[in-house]
Structure 1
Amino acid sequence: MSLPPGFLDELRTRLSLSQVVGRKVMWDPRKSNQGKGDMWAPCPFHQEKTASFHVDDRKGYYYCFGCHAKGDAISFVRETENVSFMEAVEILATEAGMQMPARDPKAQERADRRSELIAVMEQAVQFFRLQLKTAGGAAARDYLAGRGMTGARLDRWEIGFAPDGWQGLWDHLRGKGVAEDMILDAGLAKPSSKGGKPYDTFRDRIMFPIRDARGRAIAFGGRAMDPEDKAKYLNSPETLLFDKGHTLYNHGPAREAAGKGKTLILAEGYMDVIALSDAGFGAAVAPLGTAITEDQLRLAWRIDPEPVIALDGDAAGIRAALRVIDLALPLLEAGHSLRFALMPQGQDPDDVIRTGGAGAMDKLLEQAQPMVQLLWQRETEGKSFDSPERKAALDKDLRAVIGRIKDPSIKRHYGDEIKNLRWQLFNPRREGGARKPWRGRKAPQPALSATKSSALVSAGQGFEDYLHEAVILATLITHPGLLHGALDALERLDCTSDDHRRLQGALLTHADETDPAALRAAISGTIGPAPLENLFALRHVQICPSVANPQDAEKAALCLAEEVAKLTATRGAAQEIEDALQDMDGLADEGLTWRLGQAAEARNRAGKSDNEDRGEYDIGPNGARISRDERGAFESLLAQIGYGTKEPDAS
């Protein structure tokens, strides 16, 4: 569904972001200024004690200086409620009292029909629940009790029972005034081929209501009580409400649990999901008794970028896992993958929890294998590679499998991992783990102790960024008059250390302070003195002109601009190189070369300073810069006319 122009702008205008966020956080009264729309709280996206989550009500955005979460009201609802974009818009529109844009007439008719069918489905849920409590549901109650389903659990999952009769539900709904076509369209009954009354779809079955992501009843899954029944589990037929391949059992509650940090688990059946959820693994779903479809996999990835597939530990479970791998390979993209937790032989998740408790299940989930491991196991387990031909056949099969991955970066990483596993298979290390001696002309010299303890080594590759950040922060603290002009750059500063992030947050909090001493006192009072002491103890900061000369505001402004430019350019170049490396597996064309060249040029431009200008210029007695080429030509002319090499006047 598309939204008309201006709808989202009007929605954001009507809403107060602090009210939307305020449902999930406790504001810090010491840091917050409600009159200015400047609100602070502990971040709802990660665990913390300090208030580093900032909401700017006037601009309508939030930002966390700890985990760097940022966005507006729509993104906040999406992240905290774990809903789609349109669902978040609907939630906020309802809160703002705005009517969602009307759809075309046919779409509206379908929506109205869906609402009517959902009402019929809810009546069926209540009918089945009532039947479970009657004498006719005694056998079903006994079976459920044997599976550990108590009264409270039955109520929570709305378990019911379809009696063993041809028109039990039909007669009940018709008696409630439900039209025949509504019962048939809901998939609750089927027309008779003999000209009689339609008959119930579900008979003599334990009933599991299937609800969509918004909690509306759309279908049923029924388990047969008769062990001789050909269909042990039977789902509702496809209807206007229900598309089996696009639905996951327990979708809504699992999405909410995943949004609170729980790992999404894909199990095989209803009872597995119920057992997992009741044991504390709330983000559990099932694909309705069938093999996982592509659409269901995409649904799972929308909930959690790396769900765990929990399958039975028998041959059928292994086959199911391998089918999921074949389905997932072409769909993989950066950040989306799968892990596999295989249950012990002959057990499913329900069995594991009943025999070993939640701890046993938690241990199996922690040991879940990445997809590449299971893929390698499939291609090598039980096979012999004692000849070049067999090894070549393995290589061919692996290339074909990896070739199905469309994402070039993931394809490269899979190739690297498979290459490593292949090396381990065909080149086992000697017993005792002894390595071969160094065979080069010269063995590498050990690093000096001074080198090992240097700041560059201990800080890693981010040390250069760390120093740029330090100069930026120290300059702003020493010259608070520059703060207002640098707020945007300061908010975008992606700090590399906890101290820097705390200083960044404190500077933004006290951006109205203009006196350097008062600003330092305010920062110390907010985050303690240690971050300030660590910052100004850096030799790189102490010799910086903007810090060493606190009275020279002009030089400080130039220094600040130069450091921000350098940091932006180096990080931009690093990101461009990373993106280009991912594209190397694709078509390496002139565009890729141009991108790298532009990144390098930007970095070189930002890295130039007055020190490098001295390679082309000299400084005259009056402080003016004199081109060395022009000065050389001038001195040569003076020599020719006999005036020697008198110092030219640059004034």
Structure 2
Amino acid sequence: MSLPPGFLDELRTRSSLSQVVGRKVMWDARKSNQGKGDMWAPCPFHQEKSASFHVDDRKGFYYCFGCHAKGDAISFVRETENVGFMEAVEILAREAGMPMPERDPRAQEKADKRTELADVMELAVKWFRLQLRTGGASAAREYLERRGLRQDVCDRWEIGFAPDSWQGLWDALKGKDIPDELIIGAGLAKPSSKGGKPYDTFRGRIIYPIRDARGRAIAFGGRAMDPDDKAKYLNSPETELFDKGRSLYNVKNARVAAGKGQPLLVAEGYMDVIALSEAGFGACVAPLGTAITESQLAMLWRISDEPIITLDGDTAGQRAALRLIDLALPLLEAGRSLRFAMMPEGQDPDDVLKSAGPAAVQSLLDAAVPMVQLLWQREVEGKVFDSPERKAALDKSLREKIMLIKDPGIRSHYGQAIKDMRWQLFRAKSGGGGGTQPRRQRGQPWGSKAPQGPSAGAKSSMLATSGDARATEHLREAVILAACISCPEVVEAFEHGLESMTCMDREHDRLRDLILRHASEGAQVLRDRIRDAIGPDGLENLMSQRHVAITPCIRKPGNVDITTMTIAEELAKLSAVRGLMDEVNDAADDLSGEADEGVTWRLAEAARAAELAQRSGQEDKAEYVIADNGARLDRDQVAKSRSMFDQIDFSKGGKKSH
């Protein structure tokens, strides 16, 4: 059976040799460099203990320095599985998700035709290059000189020119007895709809030859000289040689440069690739006027595990980056991703090179951001998250994107990275960072700031001196934090409540931050992170405090039900006490003048509510309702509080009359 042209090239592109070989060998971790595709192992073809078997994943070849076995993925499967060529191809195609082609009795005929088409394309390359030296190409030469392309650069990149004539190339090829069907089949001419001679595809354009990974000319890109031309850039039509979605400009040279250690860059157009390569960034390619396809992404990863996408600093460039993220997420594998280097607004890499030089480009490449950061920016940029509903919408959107990742390990790391960035965003907006916060001002919602103790007026009231409320709050915070550390599985259910709980001292604030950021990594990792942050004694001091140690969830660590109940109750009580204390302070401040019946009544009601809150800490027979932050509130206390406010006439500062 003959395979269609290009099938084996596509199979080798989609198959990772290190993955194929990795099923049969144990890699030497000390000698191998997975990031560069440079892998070493004991040879599977002869008995040895040293790692003399070398796999170059980027070039797709293996070689043993002991027995001198060498080959590619197909030959490796043939040798290790003891199968024939076609069976080895079928095994690799099945693993790569490529259907085997139907038997084609004309396959050899097609292969011969592709060879003929490639020969015609080489004739066209020479003719276009010759036209660039004629008098009719003076404007094109001036344009190239303005863009910084000297004659030696044009020769190196085989740049040519298509005169503004209908049959210039056609007549030249016909003069060499090239059949019509080959000229049209190569995409160099189009049939006339009026019955006349076929006409040239490229007219009045600067020509850039496009070569495949084997170095064959398969297509052309043409830049219009007429500024009013509807198509500024024009590519060859798709032919038996050229598939636009499976081709990259400069792929052969970029593969060689990347093999020497240069980072693989993905630019937007021909001129960017040429400018970057001439400036020393030789491992540079470009898609051919379209968004990057899945096949092109596979080609990029075949060359480098982490290509850098250099996109123009305009809206179109940013949109292209965001589309690429959605394409890449389901295809991510360990050690294989993308980074993004955004050019300054309104500039492309060629502009940056001309204005600031290679060092400026290198700085932008060094600052390239990982894909997870660009994903985060897309979801949060220009948006305000000032309500639980908006935060929930953000979480939902990010969760949906992360679930596209098939690899569970990568999906877990993405989730943790997103959680870290989410924490930084909301902590910055809430003024977090430890320490105490200013006392809530009148009119602010309860619990919006950590209480700072009563004002001068409130200090003299019996409500403030009846007990150390701040000490009680500190104890409740300690119990909540210790419970979360003992059973981090429950933290996710209380994230909103914990985020809104501003702690009374810096130590508790740091612990709360560490819990929210690292609880998803497991109990042991969380404890290690806490010990690294506050020292080995800090965690032990918290857990050994008497009021913490006697808590049921600490005595039975890991019990989800008990821990959930403990955290819910303590959050509810802490919120209730702080809210009531704020009201007490506000009422006490109103006693600056003559006390009236309304203020006195408010203080009495506040005192009674505080007493009920204290009593709930000693016996728990109440029925609860769930607050917006996930905390459980005493149903009776909620009802009484509502009743109290219903009877207050805020316009007069006193009790309503009935």
**Amino acid of the residue matched to residue 246 of structure 1?**
R
Tell me how far 1:424 sits from its aligned partner.
1.2
1:282 corresponds to which residue? Answer: 282
Q: Contact conserved, 1:62 with 1:70, CA < 8 A, in 2?
A: no
Residues 164, 271 of structure 1: CA spacing in aligned structure 2 closer, same or farther, 3 A cutoff? same
Tell me how far 1:394 sits from its aligned partner.
1.1
Residues 347, 64 of structure 1: CA spacing in aligned structure 2 closer, same or farther, 3 A cutoff? farther
Tell me how far 1:412 sits from its aligned partner.
1.4
2:469 corresponds to which residue? Answer: none
1:340 corresponds to which residue? Answer: 340
Tell me how far 1:434 sits from its aligned partner.
4.0
Q: How many Å separate the matches in 2 of 1:401 and 1:198?
A: 50
Q: How many Å separate the matches in 2 of 1:126 and 1:62?
A: 54
Q: How many Å separate the matches in 1 of 2:284 and 2:379?
A: 30
1:131 corresponds to which residue? Answer: 131
Q: Contact conserved, 2:253 with 2:283, CA < 8 A, in 1?
A: yes
Q: Secondary structure at the match of 1:372?
A: helix
Residues 114, 336 of structure 1: CA spacing in aligned structure 2 closer, same or farther, 3 A cutoff? same
Instruction: Check if 1:367 corresponds to 2:367.
Output: yes
Residues 77, 216 of structure 1: CA spacing in aligned structure 2 closer, same or farther, 3 A cutoff? farther
Q: Secondary structure at the match of 2:345?
A: coil
1:263 corresponds to which residue? Answer: 263
Q: How many Å separate the matches in 1 of 2:220 and 2:167?
A: 17
2:155 corresponds to which residue? Answer: 155
Deviations 1:132-156 (A, max 9, x none): 0000111000000000000110000
Instruction: Check if 1:76 corresponds to 2:52.
Output: no
Q: Contact conserved, 1:312 with 1:342, CA < 8 A, in 2?
A: yes
Instruction: Check if 1:184 corresponds to 2:209.
Output: no
Tell me how far 1:104 sits from its aligned partner.
6.4
Q: Secondary structure at the match of 1:238?
A: coil
Q: Which 5+ residue runs of structure 2 have no aligned equivalent?
A: 4-30, 65-70, 78-87, 90-102, 437-473, 483-506, 509-524, 526-658
**Amino acid of the residue matched to residue 340 of structure 1?**
F
1:399 corresponds to which residue? Answer: 399
Q: How many Å separate the matches in 2 of 1:419 and 1:53?
A: 37
Q: Secondary structure at the match of 2:142?
A: helix
Instruction: Check if 1:208 corresponds to 2:208.
Output: yes
**Amino acid of the residue matched to residue 413 of structure 1?**
H
- The structure having more radius of gyration, on CA atoms, is 2
Deviations 1:221-264 (A, max 9, x none): 00000000000000000100000000000011111111111111
Higher relative contact order (CA 8 A, sep 6+): 2
**Amino acid of the residue matched to residue 122 of structure 1?**
E
Q: How many Å separate the matches in 1 of 2:76 and 2:274?
A: 27
Q: Contact conserved, 1:222 with 1:233, CA < 8 A, in 2?
A: yes
Q: Secondary structure at the match of 2:203?
A: coil
Tell me how far 1:106 sits from its aligned partner.
2.1
Q: Contact conserved, 2:43 with 2:51, CA < 8 A, in 1?
A: no
Q: Secondary structure at the match of 1:428?
A: helix
Q: How many Å separate the matches in 1 of 2:364 and 2:258?
A: 19
Q: Secondary structure at the match of 1:406?
A: coil
Q: How many Å separate the matches in 1 of 2:204 and 2:296?
A: 29
Instruction: Check if 1:304 corresponds to 2:304.
Output: yes
Q: Secondary structure at the match of 2:149?
A: coil
Q: How many Å separate the matches in 2 of 1:409 and 1:125?
A: 48
Q: How many Å separate the matches in 1 of 2:111 and 2:261?
A: 33
Q: How many Å separate the matches in 2 of 1:303 and 1:146?
A: 33
Deviations 1:551-586 (A, max 9, x none): xxxxxxxxxxxxxxxxxxxxxxxxxxxxxxxxxxxx
Tell me how far 1:55 sits from its aligned partner.
10
2:295 corresponds to which residue? Answer: 295
Residues 55, 280 of structure 1: CA spacing in aligned structure 2 closer, same or farther, 3 A cutoff? farther
Q: How many Å separate the matches in 1 of 2:225 and 2:60?
A: 47
Tell me how far 1:413 sits from its aligned partner.
1.3
Tell me how far 1:76 sits from its aligned partner.
3.4
**Amino acid of the residue matched to residue 425 of structure 2?**
L
Q: Contact conserved, 2:54 with 2:62, CA < 8 A, in 1?
A: no
Tell me how far 1:393 sits from its aligned partner.
1.2
Residues 88, 113 of structure 1: CA spacing in aligned structure 2 closer, same or farther, 3 A cutoff? farther
Q: Contact conserved, 2:402 with 2:415, CA < 8 A, in 1?
A: yes
**Amino acid of the residue matched to residue 388 of structure 1?**
P
Q: How many Å separate the matches in 2 of 1:290 and 1:269?
A: 10
Residues 261, 121 of structure 1: CA spacing in aligned structure 2 closer, same or farther, 3 A cutoff? same
Q: How many Å separate the matches in 1 of 2:141 and 2:321?
A: 33
Q: How many residues align?
A: 386
Tell me how far 1:87 sits from its aligned partner.
11
Residues 84, 208 of structure 1: CA spacing in aligned structure 2 closer, same or farther, 3 A cutoff? farther
Q: How many Å separate the matches in 1 of 2:111 and 2:231?
A: 32
1:389 corresponds to which residue? Answer: 389
Deviations 1:283-311 (A, max 9, x none): 10000121111111111111111101000
Q: Contact conserved, 2:353 with 2:360, CA < 8 A, in 1?
A: yes
Q: Secondary structure at the match of 2:428?
A: coil
2:236 corresponds to which residue? Answer: 236
Residues 341, 433 of structure 1: CA spacing in aligned structure 2 closer, same or farther, 3 A cutoff? same
Residues 124, 71 of structure 1: CA spacing in aligned structure 2 closer, same or farther, 3 A cutoff? closer
Q: How many Å separate the matches in 2 of 1:129 and 1:389?
A: 62
2:318 corresponds to which residue? Answer: 318
Q: How many Å separate the matches in 2 of 1:44 and 1:413?
A: 24
Q: How many Å separate the matches in 2 of 1:166 and 1:87?
A: 49
Deviations 1:24-50 (A, max 9, x none): xxxxxxxxxxxxxxxxxxx9989xxxx
Q: Contact conserved, 2:292 with 2:324, CA < 8 A, in 1?
A: yes
Q: How many Å separate the matches in 1 of 2:280 and 2:76?
A: 27
Q: How many Å separate the matches in 1 of 2:335 and 2:61?
A: 19
**Amino acid of the residue matched to residue 404 of structure 2?**
R
2:108 corresponds to which residue? Answer: 108
Q: How many Å separate the matches in 2 of 1:147 and 1:256?
A: 26
Query: TM-score, with normalisation over the residues of structure 2?
Result: 0.54
Residues 61, 134 of structure 1: CA spacing in aligned structure 2 closer, same or farther, 3 A cutoff? farther
Q: Contact conserved, 1:77 with 1:88, CA < 8 A, in 2?
A: no
Residues 409, 54 of structure 1: CA spacing in aligned structure 2 closer, same or farther, 3 A cutoff? closer
Residues 60, 184 of structure 1: CA spacing in aligned structure 2 closer, same or farther, 3 A cutoff? farther
Residues 408, 88 of structure 1: CA spacing in aligned structure 2 closer, same or farther, 3 A cutoff? closer
Q: Secondary structure at the match of 1:310?
A: strand
Deviations 1:411-454 (A, max 9, x none): 1111111111111111239879546899658999xxxxxxxxxx
Q: Secondary structure at the match of 2:268?
A: coil
Q: How many Å separate the matches in 2 of 1:228 and 1:295?
A: 34
Q: How many Å separate the matches in 1 of 2:55 and 2:400?
A: 41
1:349 corresponds to which residue? Answer: 349
Instruction: Check if 1:380 corresponds to 2:380.
Output: yes
**Amino acid of the residue matched to residue 400 of structure 1?**
E
**Amino acid of the residue matched to residue 173 of structure 1?**
L
Residues 190, 77 of structure 1: CA spacing in aligned structure 2 closer, same or farther, 3 A cutoff? farther
Q: How many Å separate the matches in 1 of 2:300 and 2:158?
A: 24
Residue identity (%): 63
**Amino acid of the residue matched to residue 197 of structure 2?**
K
**Amino acid of the residue matched to residue 126 of structure 2?**
Q
Residues 188, 409 of structure 1: CA spacing in aligned structure 2 closer, same or farther, 3 A cutoff? same
Query: TM-score, with normalisation over the residues of structure 1?
Result: 0.54
Deviations 1:84-143 (A, max 9, x none): 746999xxxxxxxxxx99x96422211111111000000000000000000011100000
Between 321-330 and 403-412, report the one with greater CA deviation.
403-412
Residues 214, 74 of structure 1: CA spacing in aligned structure 2 closer, same or farther, 3 A cutoff? closer
Q: How many Å separate the matches in 2 of 1:150 and 1:211?
A: 21
**Amino acid of the residue matched to residue 263 of structure 1?**
P
Q: Contact conserved, 2:124 with 2:169, CA < 8 A, in 1?
A: yes
**Amino acid of the residue matched to residue 123 of structure 2?**
Q
